[in-house]
Amino acid sequence: MSGYRDLFDVSINDPATFWADAAKAVTWTREPQHILDDSNPPFYRWFPDGELNTCANALDRHVPERGDQAALIYDSPVTGTKRTYTYRELRDATAQFAGALRQLGVGKGDLVVVYMPMIPEAVIAMLACARLGAVHSVVFGGFAASELATRIDDAKPVVVVSASCGIEPTRVVEYKPMLDSALDIAEHKPRACVILQREQRPCQLLAGRDHDWRELTDSATPADPVPVAATDPLYVLYTSGTTGKPKGIVRDNGGHAVALLWSMRHIYDTAPGDVYWAASDVGWVVGHSYIVYAPLLLGATTVLYEGKPIGTPDAGAFWRVAAEHKVKALFTAPTAIRAIKKEDPDGALIGGYDLSSLKYLFQAGERLDPDTYHWAADKLGVPVIDHWWQTETGWAIAADPMGVQPLPVKPGSATVPMPGYDVQILHSDGAVAEPGEEGAICVKLPLPPGTLPTLWGDDHRYVSAYLSAFTGYYLTGDGGYIDSDGYLFVMGRTDDVINVAGHRLSTGSIEAVLAQHPAVAECAVIGVADEIKGQVPRGFVVLKSGASADRLAEELIAAVRDNIGAVAFFKKVDVVAALPKTRSGKILRKTMRAIADGREEPVPSTIEDPAVLDALTPVLRGQGA
C-alpha cells in the first residue's frame, strides 16, 4: 500500500501541506494563504482567506482550451431526446439564466430552491446560482409536496426554480401542482418561481408569482461570475436524519472544489476530456458531486441520463449509454445493478454493445453485496469499486484509489479511508475497537475539505447530531469494522435512517405520516431487507380503542405516497396489538429489524413485556398478521 499509505499519512500528519497542494488545481480569484482555520473547534474552516467562483471553475476556465468539447451529454430515453452542450454552450446558457435570476433580485448569499427532473436546465440552474454567489438547494423530484414544503420552510428561498413535469417510465409526474401545494403548506413564501415548460405536460402559471423560464431568460443580460469566499455556502442539500425533520447539509465553495478535483483524478482516475457518468439524480449528493460539479470542475464530459436501469427500454440501457457516449467511468448504486441482474441474469445484453471505453464501475449509495460485486465484475470484466460516503461528506470517506494505486478488492469492503479521513471504530464507551471488532464508524476531527462545515442555520443541531456522541469525532451513523489489513467494512446504519433503492429516507418521517391518521394510536416503521432495493420500509400500527382497521392499510400507504413520495416504496403495514418497548418506553426497532431480517439478536434486558415481542415475531417473519 506504499503509494496510498504515504499519501494518506501526509494528509493526516500534515493536512495543511496536503490540501495546499491539492488546492493548486483550483483557479482562485484570491489564492488562500491560510489552509485550515482550527481556532474554533469543533468548527473547522478550510481555505478561510481564499476567494473563487465555483461556476467559473466548472465552466469559464475551460472555454479557452475546451470550448468545443462536450461538457454535458443529455440522454433521455423517456422523452426520446439526446442533446450535447459544449463547454461554451453550457457557459453561455448558464450565464444567461444567471442573468434571469438576477433580474428577479437573486444575488450573493440568497437561497434558491431547485425542484426539477433530470434535465439540463436543472444543471444550468444550479450552476447559475453558483455563478451569482447564490446558494442552491435542490429538492429531489420524487419528493411530494409536504417534503418540499418542509425544505422550503427551512431553507427560506427567495426564488424557486421548477419544471412543469418529470417523466417516469409509466407516467408523467406533474411537478407544478406539487409545487403549488407545497407553497400553500409552507409558511415561507418565495418572491418568485421560474417554471420550465416541458412539452410533455405544460402547466398553468400563476400571474404575478410564476415566470416562464424561456421568456425570462431570453430577455436577460448574461451575468459574470461573482467571486465568493471559499467558506461561503455553495449549496444546501437536505438529507434524512433520525427525526422527521431533514438536515440541511451545507457545502462551502473552496473546500468542495478542492476535494472534488482531488477525487476525480485520484479515486476515479479521470482526466480532462474523459467521459464520466454518474447514473444518479441531481436531487441526491451523488448527482451534486458527480453529475454536476466534479466532472465539470475537471474539464471532463458528464452524462445526464433521464431514464432507468431497466424498462427504458430494457436492462441493456446502461450499456447502450456507456457504449454510445464512450463512458470511461460509470458510477451507480448497487440497486441498479441488482435490477439489471434480475432482468438479464446472464448479462446477455452487455454483449450487444462495444464497451471498450469503459474502464471502471464505481458503486455507492448502499453496501455493495458480494453477489452483486461478483456478477458485475464477471460480466463487465472491469474493476468494480465499492466506495462509501454520505451527503454530509460530499465525497468518498473510503474507496479504492484508482488514480493512486489500485488496491486488491475485498468483496464486501469499501477498501481504505481516503486522505483526510482519520476513520476510527469506536465502542459505545469511546474506546477504539481492535481490528475486526464492530463499532460505530467515526472520523477524527477535523474532517477534510468538501465535508459539511455545519447545518443550514443550525450550528447547534450540527454539533448535537454529529459531534456530541464522541468528543473530537464526527459520528457517521454507520456501523462496521476495520480488518487487520486496514480495510473498512460498512455494515449498515446504527440509527433510524434507511436506504431504499439508494434513496436515503428516515423511518421517523414515515412514522410521522402514519401517526397523523385518526385511527392510529402508535406506530413504528423499520427498514427490512429487500433483494432488489436493499431495504424497504415496513409499518406496524396499534389502533386507538374502538377504531376500525377497515381500509386502514390502503389509506396509510396512500398517505405516505402523497406526503413523502412514491420513492418511499411504502407498501406493507400491519395492524398489531402492541409494540415491543423498553421499560422507559422506547420502541425496540433494532430488535424488530433483526427478527424481520431473520438475524439472531439478543433481546434487551430492559424490555417491558417480552410477551409483546413474542406475539409480534410471526408477523415480523411474515408468518401471520
Shortest CB 2 distance to ligand AMP, Å: 25
- Among left, alpha and beta (phi > 0; psi -120 to 50; other), residue 549 is alpha
Q: Tell me: does residue 132 bind ligand COA (CB under 6 A).
A: no
Q: Among the residues of 27-78, which ranges form H helices?
A: 54-58, 63-66
Among 248, 365, 448, 450, binds ligand COA (CB under 6 A): 365
Q: Tell me: does residue 333 bind ligand COA (CB under 6 A).
A: yes
Q: Tell me: does residue 369 bind ligand COA (CB under 6 A).
A: no
3-state secondary structure 505-567: EEHHHHHHHHHCCCCEEEEEEEEEEECCCEEEEEEEEEECCCCCCCCHHHHHHHHHHHHCCHH
Q: Tell me: does residue 388 bind ligand AMP (CB under 6 A).
A: yes
Q: Interface with ligand AMP by CB under 6 A: which range of 48-56, 347-355, 361-369, 432-440?
A: 361-369
Query: What is 110-131 written as a DSSP string?
Result: -EEEEE--SSHHHHHHHHHHHH
Binder of residue 388, out of ligand COA, ligand AMP, none (CB less than 5 to 8 A by kind)? ligand AMP
- Residue (276 or 474) nearer to ligand AMP, CB: 474
Total residues contacting ligand COA by CB under 6 A comes to 26
Binder of residue 446, out of ligand AMP, ligand COA, none (CB less than 5 to 8 A by kind)? none
DSSP state of 374: H
Sequence-distant (6+) residues with CB within 8 A of 541 are: 514, 517, 520, 521, 522, 523, 552, 556, 573, 574, 575, 576
Q: What is the dihedral of CA 205, 208, 209, 213, to 10 degrees?
A: 60
DSSP state of 581: B
Contact between 563 and 515 under an 8 Å Cβ cutoff? The reply is no
Q: Interface with ligand AMP by CB under 6 A: which range of 322-330, 362-370, 531-539, 594-602?
A: 362-370
Among 139, 178, 300, 336, binds ligand COA (CB under 6 A): 336
Q: Tell me: does residue 386 bind ligand AMP (CB under 6 A).
A: yes
Q: Tell me: does residue 286 bind ligand COA (CB under 6 A).
A: yes
Q: Tell me: does residue 237 bind ligand COA (CB under 6 A).
A: no
Q: Tell me: does residue 495 bind ligand AMP (CB under 6 A).
A: no
Binder of residue 367, out of ligand COA, ligand AMP, none (CB less than 5 to 8 A by kind)? ligand AMP
Q: Tell me: does residue 263 bind ligand AMP (CB under 6 A).
A: no
Nearest to 51 by CA among 189, 314, 229, 180: 229
Contact between 270 and 329 under an 8 Å Cβ cutoff? The reply is yes
Buried b (16+ CB within 10 A) or exposed e, 431-467: eebeeeeebbbbbebbbbbbbbbbbbebeebbeebbb
In 10 A of CB 344, how many CB atoms? 17
Q: Please, which of residues 141-160 interact with ligand COA by CB under 6 A?
A: 141-142
Q: Tell me: does residue 168 bind ligand COA (CB under 6 A).
A: yes
Q: Interface with ligand COA by CB under 6 A: which range of 13-21, 210-218, 308-316, 424-432?
A: 308-316
Q: Tell me: does residue 504 bind ligand AMP (CB under 6 A).
A: yes
DSSP reduced 3-state for 458: coil
- Residue (491 or 611) nearer to ligand AMP, CB: 491
Q: Interface with ligand AMP by CB under 6 A: which range of 45-53, 185-193, 310-318, 471-479?
A: 471-479
DSSP state of 118: S
Q: For residue 611, with 0-12 CB atoms within 10 Å meaning exposed, 13-18 middle and 19 or more buried, which class applies?
A: exposed
Q: Tell me: does residue 488 bind ligand COA (CB under 6 A).
A: no
Q: Tell me: does residue 502 bind ligand COA (CB under 6 A).
A: yes
Shortest CB 286 distance to ligand AMP, Å: 7
Nearest to 238 by CA among 117, 388, 137: 137
Total residues contacting ligand AMP by CB under 6 A comes to 22
- Report the distance separating Cα 607 and Cα 605, nearest Å: 5
Among 20, 364, 556, 560, binds ligand AMP (CB under 6 A): 364
Shortest CB 335 distance to ligand COA, Å: 4
Shortest CB 315 distance to ligand COA, Å: 10
- Report the distance separating Cα 446 and Cα 35, nearest Å: 12
Sequence-distant (6+) residues with CB within 8 A of 467 are: 42, 445, 473, 474, 475
Query: What is 116-173 written as a DSSP string?
Result: --SSHHHHHHHHHHHHHT-EEEE--TTS-HHHHHHHHHHH--SEEEEESEEEETTEEE
- Residue (10 or 532) nearer to ligand COA, CB: 532
Among 28, 44, 569, 570, binds ligand COA (CB under 6 A): 569
Among 4, 97, 284, 540, binds ligand COA (CB under 6 A): 284
Q: Tell me: does residue 166 bind ligand COA (CB under 6 A).
A: yes
Binder of residue 477, out of ligand COA, ligand AMP, none (CB less than 5 to 8 A by kind)? ligand AMP
Pairing of strands 111-115, 159-163: parallel
- Residue (117 or 419) nearer to ligand COA, CB: 117
Residues in touch with ligand COA (CB under 6 A): 141-142, 166, 168, 173, 279-281, 284, 286, 308-310, 333, 335-336, 339, 364-365, 501-503, 532, 566-567, 569
Residues in touch with ligand AMP (CB under 6 A): 239, 284-285, 364-368, 386-391, 414, 476-478, 490, 493, 499, 504
